[in-house]
A and B are shown apart, each in its own frame.
Chain A
Amino acid sequence: MIAIIDYVAGNVKSVQNAVEKLGFETIITSDFEEIKNAKKVIFPGVGEASTAMKYLKNLKLDELIPSLKQPFLGICLGQQLLCNFSEEGNTKCLGIFDLNVKGFPATDIVPHMGWNNLQQINGELLAGISADDNFYFVHSYYCEIGKNTTSTCDYILPFSATLQKDNFYGTQFHPEKSGAVGAKILENFLKLK
């Protein structure tokens, strides 16, 4: 069973549809035990960082998530919440990826919205992905580049497009909204042992 963390503001339906199309059973849940016992966990966060952290805290998921041992995928805000700290709402996050989340400088249009490609591509989540493939991004805050970075993207400045540490994976883009190449990334994640 793949647990998709229910987050009131998010379009979790698209993630569920994308995962089920790949032949996996899903459950949309915010239940501590269901998440703990799932084979894999996906956190498709959208919205604002401090509100999302409050939500996780109320459900005690801020304690559960860092202790999970199964493959965990944070998408968009879901990836940002796995970092140390976010400038959005000056929010202390879950501290799994050792880097911070910052707001884009207003030197170009913000949010970064649309299709963009990746550089410095590494790691099993991105198997089969090349620098010619484009993914759908929509965000006003970005994850810095650090030792957990497994690919970068360039908009206004270079930032972490994907991150990985142990069983924790993150994508700044939306794989569930990135057509066939996005489905490939979800498939890579779902195949992880």
Chain B
Amino acid sequence: MLKKRIIPCLDIKDGKTVKGVQFEDLRIAGDPVELAKKYVKDGADELVFLDITATLEGRKTLIELVEKLSLEINIPFTIGGGISSVQDVEALLKAGADKVSLNSAAVRRPELIRDIAQQFGNQCVVVAIDTKNIAGEDFVFISGGKIQTQLKTLDWIKAVTDLGAGEILLTSMDFDGTKNGFDIRMLQNVAEVCQLPVIASGGAGKMEDFTELFNETKVTGGLAASIFHFNEIAIPELKNYLKTQKINVR
């Protein structure tokens, strides 16, 4: 049986791992390669690295970091942040990344999804969506959550599915950093109609939050950052707990 995935996310800024609370107030959380090795040993199912400052500063991707990661870890990993062309993707995949995550660039130029999927396959195209509820409706935000678009989250998911995305990484801006649990309402609305694998992000604070996520929604992966980086929840402990709750994990 397909297992539910537990995915630590390493937000990268200037080569260090950081985690903001609701995208602000960055704190240093350590060397990404060392953290990645620890998570692989702990039983993480995948890793996601997001260069969170790349879009704002126009910084290109972190090829050297990807090469180091590719040497050190033997589970799938995704790289995001500042990817805006097929050439960017080619360089990252060649350096050893398995998937790339597109966010703002996909909104600005949706055909990029199709171009990447055609050349490298759907499986490597993750579309990351930052979503926020405005007066009862879920809207897509870009540029690290700074700019609201007119795109409704549900419509955008349908569009990227048709364009050839292979997976959706869905972050609730309302819940991100709060540690009050995942945004179950939004994830039910969105993930229920999505035909692609969805990774839920934003709000994980305790082990029970993952049980609720996997029992109440159709998402296939749960992503979190600070609870893992600051050792609030250890992955082996989380997985053992989920097994006792009859959630299928590796």
Contact = CB atoms under 8 A, between A and B. Distances in A.
Nearest to B93: A11
A178 B74 contact: yes
Interface residues of A, number: 35
Contacts of B96: 11, 13-14, 17
A54 B3 CA distance: 35
B122 A140 contact: yes
Interface string A112-143: 11111100000000000000001010111000
A116 B2 contact: yes
B98 A139 contact: no
Contacts of A17: 70-71, 74, 96
B250 A134 contact: yes
Interface stretch (A78-86, A103-111, A162-170): A103-111
Give the secondary structure class of B's interface. Answer: loop
B19 interface: no
B29 interface: no
Given A11-B96, A134-B3, A154-B1, A115 B123 contact: no
A118 to B, nearest CB: 11
A114 B98 CA distance: 13
Interface in A148-188: 154-155, 174, 176-180, 182-183
A14 B75 contact: no
Interface of B: 1-5, 40, 45, 70-71, 74-76, 93-98, 118-124, 166-167, 194-197, 218, 220-221, 250
14 contacts: A9-B121, A11-B96, A13-B95, A13-B96, A111-B122, A113-B197, A114-B2, A114-B3, A114-B4, A114-B45, A116-B2, A134-B250, A136-B75, A178-B74
